[in-house]
Amino acid sequence: MSSNEFTLDAKPREDVGKGASRRLRRLQGEMPAIIYGAGKDPLSITLRHDDIFHAVEDEAFFSSILEINVAGAKESVIIKDMQRHPAKPIIMHADFLRVRADVELTVNVPLHFVNEDTCIGVRLENGQISHLMNELVITCLPKNLPEYIEVDMAELHVGDTVHISDLKLPEGVSSVELSHGEENDQAVAAVTEIRLQAEEPEGTADAAGDEGAADSADDSSDDEDNSGE
């Protein structure tokens, strides 16, 4: 569950503004980004769009310490925000936060649900698994940052629920929600019974249709009798 290593090459960016950003994407295949935090001045940079586009295809990119080489200087960062084009497969902008070895991070880490196919509630008790959370907000030092957190579903029965407090967090990793009190111990996943829709007995619909037709005929007969009075 340890985080992967990602390295990106970047260049300092001096030409800022929307027009400059459009030129970067259209003419140079690059995209704007910014590095900030750790008590240093923000640094505007440009990255090759294809480099970061392919990097973000790996889920671990979002929960890893990244290394950005800016004109020979290395920056250790995590991704904090990313803006994508609403209709095209284009990353418009990225924000990176500098990290320090002695300062804890607050990061969203994905949850990986394992042993779902051998879950007792699913295999033996006509149950189904519902994922109630897909990621967990954690705090830890950079060296302890996990790539993901496993949620073992193997021993769960129908009616069982996994909460944050049930998760086995790696050493040095804590849940932000639990730090706010037990009342924030949210449900992560549950095993519920699959309820089959009751089938309507054969002939019921036809009988109801025949009865309705008979009632309609009786009503018509009554109308004819009344009109003759």
Domain-ending residue, one of 30, 65, 98: 98
Cα torsion for 115, 121, 126, 127, to the nearest 10°? -80
In-domain check, residue 111:
yes
Domain count, the chain: 2
**What CA–CA distance (Å, rounded) separates 228 from 217?**
17
Residues 22 and 82 in one domain: yes
CA-only gyration radius of the chain, Å: 29
- Specify the pLDDT at position 197: 66
- Specify the pLDDT at position 24: 62
- Specify the pLDDT at position 64: 93
Domain that holds residue 151: 105-193
Q: Over the stretch 19-60, which tens digit does the pLDDT of each residue have? A: 655 666 665 788 899 999 999 999 999 999 999 999 999 999
Residues 88 and 158 in one domain: no
Q: Which residues contact 79 (CB under 8 A, 6 or more apart)?
A: 61, 62, 66, 94, 95, 96, 97
Q: Over the stretch 53-102, which tens digit does the pLDDT of each residue have? A: 999 999 999 999 999 999 889 999 999 999 999 999 989 999 999 999 99
Q: In residues, how long is the chain?
A: 229
Residues 61 and 132 in one domain: no
Q: Which residue has the higher pLDDT, 217 or 186?
A: 186
**Which pTM value belongs to this model?**
0.75
pLDDT at residue 3 above 80? no
Domain-ending residue, one of 67, 98, 129: 98
Q: Over the stretch 187-227, which tens digit does the pLDDT of each residue have? A: 999 999 998 765 555 555 555 555 555 455 455 444 544 44
Domain-ending residue, one of 63, 98, 133: 98
In-domain check, residue 82:
yes
User: What is the CATH number for 123?
Assistant: 2.170.120.20
